[in-house]
Amino acid sequence: MCGIVGFVGIDKASSVLLEGLSKLEYRGYDSAGVAVIDKDHINVIKCKGRLANLEKKLESHPLNGCVGIGHTRWATHGEPSDINAHPHSNADGTISVVHNGIIENYVELRNELKAKGYKFVSETDTEVIPQLIDYFYDGDLVDAVMKAASKLQGSYAIGVICSKEPGKLVAARKDSPLVVGVGKGEYFIASDIPALLNHTRDVYFLNDNEFVVMDNSGVKILDENKKEIKRDIYHVTWNANAAEKGGYDHFMAKEIHEQPKAIKDTMTSRIMKGKPVTLDNISLTKEQIDNIDKIYIVACGTAYHAGVVGKYAIEKLARIPVEVDVASEFRYREPIINKKTLMIIISQSGETADTLAALREAKAKGARVIAVTNVVGSTVSRETDDVLYTWAGPEIAVASTKAYVTQLIVMYTLALFFAQNKGTLSDSEIENLKAEMLTLPEKAEQVLENEDVVKDFASKNYAESDMFYIGRGLDYAVAMEGSLKLKEVSYIHSEAYAGGELKHGPIALIEKGTVVIAGATQQKLVEKMISNIKEVTTRGAKVLAFALEGSKEVKDVVDSVIYVPKVIDVFAPVLSVIPLQLLAYYMAIKKGCDVDKPRNLAKSVTVE
Ligand code: AGP
């Protein structure tokens, strides 16, 4: 996820672009840059780090010109650096491009262009775009952008300028957001509305595979055949703050709703019908996998809970023994690590001190380490040879939501990859599991459509001071995450217990009216779970269950049920965690808590 802006007008472009980018920093902040046309050439200024660094650089290198593009980056391909920062240009610097999205076939395109003599300077997927436009350019920028776009697979919102057509800006979108702002004699593009609001409230929304051409005379929206499309102007009435959060009141709500897309993006090019499961550029041979005698998954907090699901998935599907550990415990318990150990580190931020220490410990003892992180260029990603990124985009709310579900997706991908290589599942079993995984984004959307049931439950129960979460198998793993979310954002005390463990002590705390959230998505365990639910209801507990659609037996023994779409047991956590995230969110809202910045917590825990 990155932010792009573009401007055509009479004011100095660089100031307008900078101001627009400042409203998009929530989309990425590891590097930034602008390109502005000055008479007959393009000047590009870009650098690693926050927008403030770019502002500083522009003070000493002021840019003239009224047409330009800008970018704030959330690195995906290539670490955050001056070279990898956008805009990217063709060799003679006559074409510059900013891009938000991922070009899936960039390696193929890069190789084709290299064979034609094109040279590449960055590690980004984006750099193929200006080079392709250059390849097709024959005096008409719109034609060249359209031809280049027809070669791109993946997602993109792009802004393009060309010094040979100095008054013009061309933009296009597919599967990445892009809006067009229409001011008085000035026109804009942006990834999101807040970047425009200081200049105009009149916008066009673009659809996939549409193109925009703007110059001093106005804006045209074109289809793929260059036919003009007439579109009604939308007048924005929200304030800038709400718009930055995509119309949601909080980042946490926005991020919960971004999960279907985050799940889809994280599966991209790894889980595909009819193709083997792949782990990006990680080379792990069958022999190396057969040689692994134990996997440790080490992480903290929510990432640890994703690791618990990872253990179930890897042991079930690939039959390799897995131990999951919280990082702060792992390093001090003298774990048995050798060259046959594989360690999987999970960290959204890639900067958590305890997780990093565990990584270093394992590396020093000769283990191979795979890092699962959401932040390209983070310390974890730099200190391991093998990295699998979760493509969740920046997570701003302290409570992790979309990072968790994408961590689950990576855990499933690893489990399937191991199973495929070890032969613990047949080809058709793997194909079925992949097909099921590919349905998860749509099913996650369906769960979000039932948000009101959770909201209603929250509004009736937010005054509780203690709650329990119970579940068996993977429902227990999800219960732990649900309980953590509730504590973090609503400050309600809660505990997660394995359903069968309750009667060994904690059941003493159940009394009339105690709220218990019970998971019952695991088909083989539903009967056992029903017995555990009855143990608490007979003692007066009020139970909200989460179960798979059609599971009527649960409904009969609880006060309310949230159904999630039917799914193979092992993937249920991706869907069942969503109501629990929403529950924590709505309980916190009703209590008036600061959900995005809960007390005493930090997004990245860099101390031991
Ligand atoms: C999650 O909601 C928490 N904020 C916290 O538990 C977090 O998951 C933990 O601190 C680990 O962070 P990391 O994934 O960045 O390493």
| Domain's final residue, options 194, 214, 244 | 244
Mutate-to-test residue for ligand 1 from 400, 408, 410, highest number of ligand atoms within 8 A of CB = 400
| Domain's final residue, options 213, 244, 275 | 244
What pLDDT score was predicted for residue 608?
Answer: 62
DSSP alpha helices (H): ranges in 341-466? Answer: 353-364, 379-383, 402-422, 427-438, 440-449, 451-461
pLDDT classification of 599: cutoffs 50, 70, 90:
confident
- On whether both 134 and 239 belong to a single domain, the answer is yes
Mean pLDDT of the chain: 94
Q: How far is the CA of 303 from the centre of ligand 1 (A)?
A: 6
CATH no. for residue 303?
Answer: 3.40.50.10490
- On whether both 491 and 392 belong to a single domain, the answer is no
* Rounded (10°) angle between helices 301-318 and 402-422: 20
- On whether both 530 and 576 belong to a single domain, the answer is yes
Mutate-to-test residue for ligand 1 from 250, 300, 347, highest number of ligand atoms within 8 A of CB = 300
- Decide if 603 is catalytic: yes
- On whether both 223 and 306 belong to a single domain, the answer is no
- On whether both 281 and 264 belong to a single domain, the answer is yes
- What DSSP state is assigned to residue 142? H
Mutate-to-test residue for ligand 1 from 305, 345, 352, 396, highest number of ligand atoms within 8 A of CB = 352
User: Which two structure tokens, joined as six digits, stand for 222?
Assistant: 């074109």
Q: Where are the beta strands (DSSP E) in 484-539?
A: 493-498, 515-520
- On whether both 102 and 222 belong to a single domain, the answer is yes
Task: Kindly state whether residue 460 falls inside one of the protein's structural domains.
Answer: yes
- Give the atom of ligand 1 at the shortest distance from the alpha carbon of 399: 2
Q: How far is the CA of 235 from the centre of ligand 1 (A)?
A: 39
Q: CA-CA distances (angstroms) from residue 453 to 204, 398, 464, 586?
A: 34, 25, 18, 11
Tell how far CA 459 is from the center of its chain.
29
- On whether both 463 and 585 belong to a single domain, the answer is yes
Closest-CA residue, ligand 1 atom 9, reads: 301
- Give the atom of ligand 1 at the shortest distance from the alpha carbon of 400: 2
Task: Kindly state whether residue 605 falls inside one of the protein's structural domains.
Answer: no
Q: How far is the CA of 352 from the centre of ligand 1 (A)?
A: 8
Of 14, 35, 6, 10, nearest to 190 by C-alpha is 6
Q: Residue 589 belongs to what H/E stretch?
A: helix 572-591
- On whether both 218 and 346 belong to a single domain, the answer is no
Closest-CA residue, ligand 1 atom 8, reads: 302
Residue 241 has pLDDT above 70, yes or no: no
- On whether both 289 and 203 belong to a single domain, the answer is no
pLDDT classification of 1: cutoffs 50, 70, 90:
low
Q: How far is the CA of 602 from the centre of ligand 1 (A)?
A: 9
- On whether both 492 and 584 belong to a single domain, the answer is yes
Q: Where are the beta strands (DSSP E) in 39-186?
A: 41-48, 67-73, 88-89, 95-100, 156-162, 169-174, 179-182
CA dist., res. 206 & res. 232, Å (int): 11
- On whether both 466 and 519 belong to a single domain, the answer is yes
CATH no. for residue 174?
Answer: 3.60.20.10
How many domains is the chain partitioned into structurally? 3
Residues 242-246: contacts with CB within 8 Å, 24+ apart? 243/192, 243/193, 243/194, 243/197, 244/23, 244/26, 244/192, 244/194, 246/192
CA dist., res. 562 & res. 358, Å (int): 38
Task: Give the residue carrying structure tokens 């590919």.
Answer: 438
Question: Would the CA dihedral through 18, 24, 26, 27 be positive or negative?
Answer: negative
Ligand 1 neighbours by CB, cut-off 6 Å = 300-303, 347-349, 352, 355, 398-400, 488, 604-605
What pLDDT score was predicted for residue 240?
Answer: 67
CA dist., res. 339 & res. 512, Å (int): 54
Per residue in 505-545, pLDDT tens?
Answer: 999 999 999 999 999 999 999 999 999 999 999 999 999 99
Q: Residue 36 belongs to what H/E stretch?
A: strand 31-38
- Give the atom of ligand 1 at the shortest distance from the alpha carbon of 380: 16
- Decide if 2 is catalytic: yes
Greatest extent of the chain over all pairs of C-alpha atoms, in Å: 80
Closest-CA residue, ligand 1 atom 10, reads: 301
Specify whether the backbone of 203 is left (phi greater than 0), alpha (psi in -120 to 50) or beta.
beta
Domain that holds residue 43: 3-244
- On whether both 341 and 325 belong to a single domain, the answer is yes
Using alpha carbons only, what angle is made at residue 475 by residues 410 and 466, rounded to the nearest 5 degrees?
A: 120
Q: Give yes or no for a contact between 438 and 567, defined as CB atoms under 8 angstroms apart.
A: no
Q: How far is the CA of 128 from the centre of ligand 1 (A)?
A: 35
Task: Kindly state whether residue 465 falls inside one of the protein's structural domains.
Answer: yes
What pLDDT score was predicted for residue 74?
Answer: 85
Please compute the mean of the pLDDT values over residues 12-39 and round it to a whole number.
92
pLDDT classification of 186: cutoffs 50, 70, 90:
very high
Range in 61-70, 109-118, 213-222, 595-604 with the lowest mean pLDDT = 595-604
- Give the atom of ligand 1 at the shortest distance from the alpha carbon of 352: 16
